[in-house]
A and B are shown apart, each in its own frame.
Chain A
Amino acid sequence: MKPLFRLPITLLLVASFVSACAPQPAAPPAATQPTEAPKAAEATQPAEATAEPAAANPMDYLNAPREDTLIIDQPYKLETFDNWNPYTPGNAFGWGMSEIGMDDLMYLNYGDGKYIMWMAEAVESNDDATVWTLHLRKGITWNDGVPFTADDIVFTINMQIKNDKLSNHFYWAEWLDKVEKVDDYTVKYTLKKPNVRFSAERISGGVGVFPDIFVPKHIWETVEDPTTFKNYDPAKGLPLGTGAYILAKVTTNETILVRNDNWWGAKTGFAKLPEPKKVVFSYVGTEEVRTQTAIDNGFDSMQDITVGALQAILTQNPKWEAWFKDKPYAVPDPCARIISFNSLKQPWDDKDMRKMMSLVMDRQQIVDIAYEGSTTLAAYFWPAYSSMKPYSDLVDKETYESFLQPNLAAAEEILKAKGYVKGAKYWAKDGKDLAIEIQVPEDFIELIRVGDVYVEQLQKFGINASESKLGSVFYDNSANGNYEAQSNWFACGSVNEPWTTLNTFAGEAAPIGQRPKGPPIDNAFRWSNKQYTDLVAQIGVTKLDDPKLMELTKQALAILYDELPAIPSAQSRKIVPFNYTYWTGWPTSENYYIFPCNWCHLFTVAMTKITKAQK
């Protein structure tokens, strides 16, 4: 079955969507108009919340014709239709609100590594990166007309500090001394300790971290318990955002947002008012059904599909186009795929054995078969983005190239040196066949297919490899160290600086059976190297423009590629085709103005760029 329950796709991207059975429409109570094309525009509707002198009642746009509508594919079902509290685990914010109902302070374009300033005008820090100052644009308003100011930001952060069940609580508790309003348009963050990536982590939300979603102080200050507040009441204009779109209707499988013609961005002339009058986030079922819906022009934009589905779409509806017009089609996902070893389990505690495992891996075959050519050959722990190139080039050239093709002879040498003898089928030592169990998440087809191919390569070479597909226990095993090897993406994080990924390997190895204590919470690899950890700590406090950064990173990478607590298996990919029947101007490899992610905050930027297709 398709991504039935692919829990986590990548730590990073993927916004919410978790499904639900919500038969009741979120539509305003009055919405019982018995017509096929409902005149949803009851005057008494939620939108009176938009007290501004609206050119039109946004709810009129519920009747917008297909050519004014943008339909976005959702691969999961909406389960908690009435929870729009962005700080709780099971909310529906990813059904439109976080993509186009909100604005971020700034957006990162992975293509060139540059920031697009949005609600923020500038961010700066003092020399030791302990005090950060944020300057807001003027004229930003919530969709009910109330101005968005420094107060809202300070309120949102303090609310999280006060409440340890809100998702960013421990971040702020760890780093933030205090946050203050300087004036309506200036916020000052004072940190407990230096953090050179504070802007990337919390203000822009690069990758690995999503920026805070701000909540309107004038609504939330009266809320008693922000952990159980549902933030859902369309009649009162909740959920309330600053974005160009307002949540108008929720059905069992869809959410519908309509354009707010009074959006601050257009009014201040800072951005173009997006053209689509209505945006539908729609779940139609399995990939087969999604694909056929796309062929029938039922979607304008799809969320990560398989190569097979893409080929079916491209051959049956020429109006669809992927990121690249030809192979590899896909845009690289920020999380590179790896095979991680448990460095506390024999014989994988031996770096030569891990190296041997890497020598057996035929990465080109993984690209050709597991990915059907939809990704490119690379052996990094981070994405091969141009923004990462300066750091990628720090890996010793010869070492790097040795990863690009298998070297079975060298692998045999290592095994012989370790006292292994090749039997009829498998290498063995002391009468025991060399075996390894590779765990994969059962709902993550891409990783399963990587595992499938790798297992065959190992079997052919003479290692009794097996693959276990596991449910959410996969993640427990990772945290508690109950595995030999896993096919995963747990070195994920870096997109325009090296520290985040390098840091996933740093720190002490927690004993098997215990969760690693944070921070750093990661190191699921159970690998510890004092020298490496020290280097990473230094990188962590070195500013990006400091020349020292390159030298430190180079040293850390040398250790990493020698010790190999994990081995890179493939660059990941997302196949996100767009339909040019009704809308054009989509981001492509040739027109890379933003990462093509219709489930990310970044989509707000794309919305302002797309235009109606000429008939």
Chain B
Amino acid sequence: MAVLATNSNTQAAARRVNIWDTPWLNAKFVTGSSIIVLVLLFGLLGPLFWNTDLAFTASSPVNLPPMWDKGGSPEHPLGTESNGRDMLAQLVVGIPASLKVGLLAASIGMGIGILLGSLAGYLGGWTDHIIRTITDSVITIPSLMVLISIAAYVRMPDTTAMALILALFAWPGPTRLIRSQVLTLRERGFVRMALLSNVPALEIMLFEMVPNMLPWLAASLTGGISGAILGATGLEALGLGPTRVPSLGTIINYALNSSALVRGMVWWWLPPIITLVIIFTAFFLMTVGLDEIANPRLRGYGNGK
């Protein structure tokens, strides 16, 4: 099996003659990342075209429908909500804020997970025991309880604090699964072969194991990002987020608090949800694409071949 895996890698490398033939041009990956880039651009360039001060309370008239509805105004194309905030401005400010939380929390979690997971799985022995015990203990504690307790008492000026709180619970999952992945890989032919030929541990980890775990790592990271975004949105929607600067979750929180649903203020609660679905879908496409890039043989599957 080891031979097979190595073979396929060399084949992939050999095929990469034409630069346009690079596997990174995978359609799903490109689509997914383009959406994320577009969403990011919306947030980054938005402030150039739209006054973000309108995202703050009492900056606009209250309860205006979007401009295409009766009573709407081009001054506030997506309408305003009950606290006098412009919806477009809120999205411009809120989307990057939510993405930032996801990226930060997932990256920290993943980083710690890779480090601890491979240490535990590869070194074994006492290192393994200690890491596992800590990981297991943290996993068994219902994270929502801790998150709620912390979020209710930590003062949150911005989303960074929220990301760090989420990161507290973002690492044990990856740690445990990477460890078990490493354990499985250790027993594989090519790793054993490397072990037998006295290749240094770090090298084995980096060059033999990590590439083999790549699809899983990538999927886990993108999954982690959307997970963290959802986690943050959930806490914020409960009213546990930062107060002044909007994020997708705080928009939902205010919408729920003001009965936007029964009031028929669709322009208030729907945009953050659509945005979440788009972000989630984009990360999903990226995950699928990444898998195919790392696993050349997957390329084209699902295309009916």
Contact = CB atoms under 8 A, between A and B. Distances in A.
Q: Decide if A and B touch, CB cutoff 8 A.
A: yes
Interface of A: 1-2, 4, 286-288, 291-292, 295, 305-309, 311-312, 316, 365, 368-370, 372, 437, 442-443, 445, 448-449, 451-453, 455-457, 459, 466-471, 473
A312 B262 contact: yes
B257 A445 contact: yes
Contact of A456 (B56, B237, B238, B257): B56
A453 B62 CA distance: 13
28 contacts: A286-B256, A287-B257, A306-B257, A306-B259, A308-B258, A308-B263, A308-B265, A312-B262, A312-B264, A368-B62, A369-B58, A369-B62, A372-B82, A437-B155, A442-B239, A443-B239, A445-B257, A448-B239, A448-B243, A452-B57, A452-B243, A453-B83, A455-B244, A469-B239, A470-B152, A471-B152, A471-B153, A473-B152
Given A287-B259, A308-B258, A452-B83, A1 B56 contact: no
B243 A467 contact: yes
B226 to A, nearest CB: 22
Interface string B76-105: 000000111000000000000000000000
Contact of A1 (B155, B244, B257, B261): B257
* SS class, residues of chain A in contact with chain B: helix
A292 B259 CA distance: 10
A456 B243 contact: no
A613 B109 CA distance: 62
A328 B264 CA distance: 21
B58 A306 contact: no
B120 interface: no
Given A2-B257, A307-B82, A456-B59, 12 more contacts: A287-B259, A306-B257, A308-B260, A312-B264, A369-B58, A370-B83, A442-B152, A445-B257, A448-B239, A453-B83, A466-B157, A469-B239
The listed residue with most A CB atoms (<10 A of its CB), out of B62, B237, B243, B261, is B243
Interface in B247-268: 253, 256-265
B244 A4 contact: no
Interface in B56-74: 56-59, 62-63
B57 A456 contact: yes
A449 B83 contact: yes
Contacts of A467: 243-244
B116 interface: no
A440 B303 CA distance: 55
Interface of B: 56-59, 62-63, 82-84, 152-153, 155-157, 237-240, 243-244, 253, 256-265
Contact of A288 (B58, B157, B261): B261
A40 to B, nearest CB: 34
B181 to A, nearest CB: 38
Nearest 5 A/B pairs, CB to CB:
A471-B152, A312-B262, A308-B259, A309-B259, A467-B243
Contacts of B153: 470-471, 473
A457 B58 contact: yes
A2 B256 contact: yes
A302 B62 CA distance: 25
Contacts of B264: 312
A32 B187 CA distance: 61
A369 B85 CA distance: 10
A306 B263 CA distance: 11
A370 B56 CA distance: 13
Contacts of A457: 58
Given A452-B57, A466-B243, A309 B262 contact: yes
A437 B244 CA distance: 12
Given A452-B57, A468-B243, A1 B253 contact: yes
A312 B57 contact: no
Nearest to A444: B239
Contacts of B259: 287-288, 291, 305-306, 308-309, 312
A468 B83 CA distance: 18
A458 to B, nearest CB: 11
A452 B253 CA distance: 14
Given A308-B82, A466-B157, A4 B238 contact: yes
Contacts of B260: 308
Nearest to A439: B155
Contact of A306 (B157, B243, B258, B265): B258
Nearest to A362: B58
A288 B262 CA distance: 6
A473 B257 CA distance: 22
Contacts of A455: 57, 243-244
Contacts of B240: 442, 469
Contacts of B157: 466
A457 B155 CA distance: 21
A453 B253 CA distance: 17
A1 B238 contact: yes
Given A372-B82, A466-B243, A467-B243, A1 B256 contact: yes
A130 B249 CA distance: 58
Nearest to B148: A471
Nearest to B152: A471
